[in-house]
Structure 1
Amino acid sequence: MRVDYAARVAQRHGSKPHLPAAAGSGRAPVRSRPGLIVRRDLVAALDRAAEKPVTMISAPAGSGKTSLLRAWADRPGQDRRIAFMSVRPGQQDAQLFWLALLDAVRAAAGTEGAAEPPPVAPGFDGGAMVDKVLSEVAAAGGHFFLVIDDLHELGSAEATEQLTALLTHLPHGVHAIVATRHDLPLRLHRLRLTGELAEIRAAELRFTEAETRELLATCGVALPDEVAGLLHQRAEGWAAGLRLAVLSLAGHPDPERFVAEFSGSHRTVAEYLMAEMLERQPADVQRLLLRTSLLDRVNGELADLLTGATGSERILLDLEDANAFVVSLDPDRTWFRYHRLFADLLRLELRHTHPEAIPELHRLAARWFAEHAQTADAVRHLQAAGDWAEAARLLTDHTVSLTLDGQGGTVVALLRAFPAGAGEDSPELALVYANADLHQHRLAEAQAHLEIARSYAATTPPDRRPRLRTAIASLDLLLARLRGHFDAVFEQADALSSPAVGRSNTEVALAGDLRALALLNLGVTEAWSLRLAESERHLLEGAVLARGIGRPYLEVACRAHLGFVSGSQSFALVRQRCEEAIALAARYGWDAEPVIAPAQVALAGTLICTGEFGQGEQWLDRSRRVTRSDGEPGVRLLVRLISAMLPAARGQHREALAELTAAEQVQAHMVGRHGLSSRVTAWTMATQARLGMVDQARTRLAALDDRQAAAGEIRNAAAVIRLAEKDPIGARRELRSVLDGTAPVNSLLTPIEAHLLDALAWRELGDDRAVEAAVERALHLAEPDRMILPFATTGAWELLDALQHRTSHAALVSDILDAVHGDAPDRSAAGPIEKLSPSELRVLRYLPTNLTRPEIAAELSVSPNTVNTHIRRIYAKLGARDRSSAVQRGRELRLLSNGRT
């Protein structure tokens, strides 16, 4: 299988399609390599080693590790499936490492959709990614090989630890081969003890004398046998040293003298041979090699810029064809790198001969990388040039975008490269430190750095001020989310009043990133403050903007919260938006990431409210699994609250109280009050009262101030306490402000609950007609969304048996009783031939009752003609002849309950 793996990785790193990064996935590219020999014995040794689950190839630079891997992987006729990747130089980010490896696995396995790599995201679960890679290689079946080259370039301790987990849990038939210059802390001792680890070291990679002679012959270098033996002895079988020697010997006027003088350490030998090569190269080639040696990767355009000449690409292609330590990085041969040791020595020569040119070369490279959206590379070259102020400015402007690109580890590494004078107290870098602090949950440090950044932004040039203020507003709002300090940051919303107008495509994209992130943070902060209309507007705007600028993670994050803010409109809208967000997250492989938890828990809450406890519990479990213990407190509080609803509905009050207590502990660590805090407090008091802990509930109620106590949820809890004290008159008095609509409430659940508590109080007072009227009012409010939860949690379902044949909500009553008795309709059961619309389902639920068609129309506030139309469609879709057969068919399809008498 051949794939354009370099172009795919280029997309992941934010470069243009024609700018591949120095990492690959899929099979290693194959091309005829003149002047290389096939080391059959060494390839056979790797074949034997690869039969073990894990093979480590560890040897210094220039030992021939990559050449061995290519020769082994690309033999004609072999049918192994091999996922081949090289780690990018200086790779600091675990996420980018794992996504590149996943790309390689999918390319080798031929997985559908492999052409589109998963997007990067600031939120990353390495353990989940390890599981995903293991799952996909296991699903590939048969023998499968993971080949990871240049692992020494991986600078992420997190990724190294995760790689240990992968290597020690490989499925049967899956083998891993890892090549590195030095041993890494992979903790593979158990594999070594059990004989499941094979190791190839520098000694095995050394050329034999016979291989040295074959290399000389292949390259057309004729030496007497004793001279060839001396060369092998002097090089000690070192592959790079021999390669350098052979290149210099080709056409040398006195090869025997050359071999006689060939001695010393590897570096000394390499420096000597490099000088031989450079002296024999044309001036333009020497200039290109020296002036581009400070780059990790180079293309023709960049080389032309640094040399001030043209035709650099042709020179690079010719050097690679001559095997002169130049390696192409993509199948189209547009990007190249030098052999690591060769590049080091070229840089040394550049420092010796033209030290004054080095800073300007770095500046030219930085400018080119910045113009081509390669910000991290641009910052590195500015740092190398000593332009610390410009490096700080560029990193500050792009820190949010780099984090969104999954390069948070790179940002931290770039920060460490600044000198002490430009360290943590630098106002230019304060925003970068604040961003890094927030993503490591160091909230106090983030607050201090944001204050420095705020002061700095007020004195910056006018053209940079809007961008910095938008970035600060975004991070302010993120800090507010993580601290639960909502009221303190709404004044920052003025930074979002209009998008910043950039003067270039890069600035426009940057402004889009900042604005989308700010809209997300503002919308979520408003959601937890129950400013639902404003939250919906900002989240929708953020989602549309995120899609437009190609930020799927931000779009998923925005849409994941839209379900919660839709609760005041309808449960149908909640379900629709949650399911859309979950489907979008699954498309990008984020269905087990924290970003989608708000949608999962909101969907769980809706299902529990409508009596679908089993399905609700499944989604609740998913949200628990992806919610981190140190994650956003607003989400954690919501998860705890929904977790309390389920046992409360099942009458398991002690379990409910434990979850509510945990929710209060989350609230205690928040600076402000979450919009759902009054519900947590109210349900805690009510649950205590139902458990007989009336004194504790009374003490908690007395501790509330007048504003808190006036909330509808608290008044309902006070009524529960009164009922537990056998004081129904007092309970009705507590409910008065909720029933007359003067008490503030945060959802429709509260007035339904109030009417049911009123009914329970009337039962204690012996007024059956008042009981029936109160229950009927509760059913009327519950009918549009099929709200079942309050009937279960209050115990008012016990009042429904007597009403089932005298209510206009008989179908809902049956559903409530089914849910409470553990026989809720299975909404996932097979449906009719054609799906019924929501309006048709509402009419269907009235068909088991004795209501006439005009009476059904009155209940639904529609015309009789509309009801007649719906009934005709119901009959057609259910294949029914009359009302009775429609009801029977509806029950068979579990669209209606079986009915209880």
Structure 2
Amino acid sequence: MTRGELVPRRRLITDLAAVRDDVPLILLVAPPGYGKSIALRQWAARDQRSFAWVTAEPADRDPHRLLRRIARAIGEIHPVEPATWRSLSAPASELAGEAVPRLAATAPEVLVIDDVHLLRGTPGQQLVLALAESLPTGSHLAIGARSRLGLPVGGLRSQGRCAEFGPSDLRLSRAEAINLIRATGTALPAEQALGLNRRFEGWPAGVYLAALSLRGRSDAVRAAGQVTGADAYLSEYFREVVLAAEPADTVRFLLRSATLDTLSGGVCDAVLRRHGSGQLLAGLAVRNLFVAPIHPASRSYRYHPVFREMLLAELRRREPAAEPALHRRAATWFERRDQAEPAVRHAAAAGDTRATTRLVLRHGRGLINEGRAGPVADALDGLGRGAVEQDVRLAARAGWVYAFAGRTLQAGACLTAATGQAAPDAKTAAAVERLRAALAPGGVDGMLGSARRAARAERPGSPWYATTMVLLGVAEGFTGNTVLATARFARAARTGAEYPVPAALALAGLAWHAADQHDCAASAAYAEESAALLGPGSRTYGWAVMTHLVRARVALETGDATAFRLLLGEAAEAMEQARPFPWLVAAASLRLSRVTLDAGDHTAASKAAVRARLALDQLTTTGVLAERYRALTADLGRESAADTGAGTAGLTAAEQRVLLLLPTHLTLNQIAGELRLSRNTVKTQVAAVYRKLSASTRAAAVVQGRELGLLD
């Protein structure tokens, strides 16, 4: 069974069949493997109209040969008049005047000419277009090609007489991807099948080959998330179908430029030490060689991600020493243009610890403010844990990046590494204290002491002043000194334009203080000012959770139910990213419980209270947070859940904490690191959870926990 027979492209076939009778030209243009020929054959098999078919060959650059092949294809449907055959022998310059109109008059309802890209720039290609323009109403010329280079269709397009289908039309739909994978005999759940289709961007041949590579594997579900363009089936396809047809200089360009996420003439010229990259990129994009424009105005491009993976693997195979040098040149190019994030990524990919350290020290805070912590954390992963942690300056800054990326284990490891080394100067010592205050391994009291020590090195206007002030304000508020806390928040809030993330948290603190004083107008004003500072990238940061929650409270008070639900959703997303900051999870969960209780949602309020208690368990000292929790549980109408376990199937607080992490993809070792426990302790607690919930597997425990309302 061929790939074309595995999955019918019903939506695409319907669209092809629906082309109006007065539209003579139908173009299917996409890179190799998008199923152009398959779609046309399925259309021909399912449509009642007559189809004639020609697959172009290199020899068809001879216009006489091409027209004779077209005539023979038409002749398989109905006879071609002798006069038409005689006209095909006319000189090439006269074919368009007589032979083409005669062929057009005898054409079937659909004439397919596939692989027209092989005729690029030849008289044969021009005759194909002339044939389309000569067709009578009711007949179509359907062309399959990898590019439309050399096909001047602007006139027909402007007249509405050309229907065009590109990669976006030929991509696999969700249902088609699931059906194609299953048809190969590969057993994948729908979630993994759809994930594979997303990563391959709906490229049919890629999804098919990936499914074949997984067929028969006992670990197919796990392996589905790890299939890349470097896998044997895919890399062989790219080498044979794409690279083999390209000159050596183009292949060299493709391999070396694959080190870049975003391609432009300038960066490619600099990194590859050549000229004319912009023109070459434009040509590759026009030819649909798995190169697509990102921003036409800025002339930037990107490779299809799977194609890029193959190119990188091929580069490492052919030129194993080339990649680090290419990344170093890219880092230099981006740094000179003040593009910090790609500069950090390329410096780390080059293994250049010194350059990475310099860039993170200089730009780390700014990247966090721009919502770019996640990509920078990924770059630091590439540098290697040992390289990050061996330099106290880098460890102290990387800890912040990891924390804002929601990576608890890595942030804690950076703090441990930084604490174990002597700081070379007061600035670095303050950075370590600031990270310790943020992660609060010593609880609220330790947070206050660390924040005070960090504050000694900061002055108004210094890059970390706002962050230090907001941490100090939070810690003082947790120890009951609301006067000092609001003063610190006010100072941090004044830096909003330049340091938006800490200023937004400070304004949220002022908004909550005003709400506690029943000053609704001031609370709403502070809340909106806080939200205005958060850009798209930083709205999901953990530090944004208090902003979303206080805005939800305002929406509740004003009766805006839609905004209330949306803001609670944003708060839930930010809460997940707040896990490296246990004090923030505790405080935000207490606020969330209060807000949902006020909204009459006792179930949501109880769940938030459980989460608050679990976060409090991670703090060695809790300050006023413990008092707030006790007041909350009293209002919820039950005894302290931390002691009784009422309504929790008898699970202890520690067991509930483990249960909350079972729906994640974390291993037992990772759960142990997240909770700062030994693996054996976590293993014992998981066993207790299974026993009390009458579950024999992790999945069953999650299902039972959800049925009991212990999990969302």
TM-score (norm 1): 0.39
TM-score (norm 2): 0.47
